A and B are shown apart, each in its own frame.
Chain A
Amino acid sequence: MKKLLELTVNGEHYEVLVEPKTLLIDVLRDQLGLKGAKRGCDSGSCGACTVLLNGKPVHSCSILALQANGGEILTIEGLADGPNLHPIQEAFLDHWALQCGFCTPGQIIAAKALLDENPNPTEEEVKTAMNGHICRCTGYNMITEAILDAAKRLQEARR
C-alpha cells in the first residue's frame, strides 16, 4: 500500500505517494524528474547517487524514500543560482574535472558538503572526503584541484 512522502527538494515542497520499497534515488529521478543524481552500482560503492539530506551527503540509492520523510534535500539541480553557476561548478569546468560527467553531480554535491563543513581543506582532507566516489575517467587529481580551487573562490566571495 502506498504511503505519503513529504520532501523539500531544492527549496520546493513535494508530496508524493510511494510504495515503501521505493528508493530515495528513484523518487528524485522518476517522480520528481531530477535526473542529475545517477545510479552507477548495486552495492553502495560508487557515490553517483549522492545528494544532501538535511545537509549531509548520503547514498540516495541505499535509503528508502520514506526514511527521508519530512527531510530537506539538495540535488545538483539546486546548486546553481538561476543562470549563475556555483563556484564549485565553475571550478570543475575550469579544471577539466569532468569527462563523461556521469559521476559529476554526485562529486559536486559531496564537494559542497565538504566545503560547507571544512572551508579550507588540505589536499589529503579532500581526497579522504571524496574517496567514496568512483570516477572512471579522470584519475581524480584534476577533481581534487578543482575542489581546492573552489575553496579559494568561496573564501574570496565571503570577503
Chain B
Amino acid sequence: MKNITQNFEYFAPKTVEDALSLLSRYGDKGRILAGGQDLLLLMRQDLIAPEYVIDIKGISDLDYINFDDKEDLRIGALTTHRTLEKSPLVKNRFSILSEMEQNLGSVELRNWGTVGGSLCIGRPCGDPAPLLIVLNGRIKIASLRGERIMSIESFNLAPFEVDLRPDELLVEIQVPNSPPRNGVSYKKFSQLEEDCAFTAAAVSITLNHEKNICDDIKIALSMAPTAMRAKKSEEVLKGKEINANLLAEAGQVASEEAGTLTEQASKGYRKKLVKILSKEVSDQYRRELMKVLVERAGEEALERAKRA
C-alpha cells in the first residue's frame, strides 16, 4: 500500500502564535496538517511533498463552538466535523449545519477531520463551503502580519486552490444568525447513498416579514468547478413570489452559470485529481443535476422559510 515517501521536518506547535511563526518561516515549502484526512492521502499518492509539516491538531485554543451576544456562531478552525455534528447548540440554532455534517463522509472521517481543514483543501465537491456560502459565512485568517476576514464565497479560487497565502492560517469560521422567515436547504447528489457528491446545491431564502415575497436569496453550487455562488440564478428569484416555475428557471440558469470542471485546474496534482472527477459523469449530466438540485433545495428552503 502507498506510504509517504518523502521525509519532512515535523513541528507540533501548541499555540497559534507558534504556528504563525513557523508558517512565516516555512510556509512556502511547508503545509499545515490538521486532521490530514485529505492532506495525508495526497502525500501518500506523491501528489504533494512538503519539506515541512506543521501539525496544528494539538492547538486546543482553536477547538471551540461559541455563540456570542451579537448572535454570530463562531467555530474554531480545528473543530472536528463530529463535534459540529453533535453540538446541541448547533442543532438548536443552526440545524442545517448538523444536517450537512451528518452526511459528510464517514463517522471515522468526521471524528478526526476538521471544518477548517476541509475548507482549506478546497475540494471541488466543497463541503462545507457551498452551505456556508449561502449562510453568509466568513472566515478569519491570521498571520504574523495581522488578521483578515473574508467571505467564504471568495475563498475558493479553483479546484484545490483557495485564497490563503503561504504564511496564513485559517483560525475561525463565522456564521451569522439567520434572519426571521429564513429557510435553508442543502441537497447533494451521489451515486451511492453517502459519497463525495457529483454536485450539490445550497439555497437560502428569506421571505418578506409580511408577504411571501423573496427578500433575499443565496444559491451556491459545488463542482462548478468548485464551490460557487450562482448569482444569475439568484436574480431569477429575488423580489418575486417564488413558485415551481421560477424554481425550475432558477435551476436552469444555475446549470448554465456553472463553470466546467476541467477548465480551471491548472497545476500538476490538481489537474490529475480533477480529471477523474470530470470522467465520473459528463459535464452535461452534471448540469442537469444542478438544475434539479437547485429546484429541490429551493422548494425545501421555501417551505422552511414559510414555517419559520
Q: Do A and B contact each other directly (Cβ–Cβ < 8 Å)?
A: yes
A21-B7 CB under 8 A given contacts A42-B1, A62-B41 = yes
CB-based contact B41/A42 at 8 Å = yes
Set of chain A residues within 8 Å of B111, measured between Cβ atoms: 56-58
A 1-31 binary contact with B (CB < 8 Å = 1; else 0): 1010000000000000001110100100000
CB-based contact B10/A132 at 8 Å = no
B296 within 8 A of A: no
CB-based contact A21/B109 at 8 Å = no
CB-based contact A63/B36 at 8 Å = yes
A97 to B186, CA, bound (A): 35
Name the interface size band of chain B.
20 to 34
A20-B107 CB under 8 A given contacts A42-B1, A59-B112 = no
A50 to B110, CA, bound (A): 13
Q: How far is the CB of B280 from chain A (nearest CB, A)?
A: 14
Set of chain B residues within 8 Å of A3, measured between Cβ atoms: 10
Overall SS of chain A's interface: mixed
Name the residue of chain A whose CB is nearest to the CB of B80.
A56
Q: How far is the CB of B227 from chain A (nearest CB, A)?
A: 21
A34 to B106, CA, bound (A): 24
Set of chain A residues within 8 Å of B5, measured between Cβ atoms: 21
Set of chain B residues within 8 Å of A43, measured between Cβ atoms: 41
- Partner of B107 from the list A21, A61, A110 (CB cut-off 8 Å) is A110
Name the residue of chain A whose CB is nearest to the CB of B86.
A117
Name the residue of chain B whose CB is nearest to the CB of A55.
B111
A47 within 8 A of B: yes
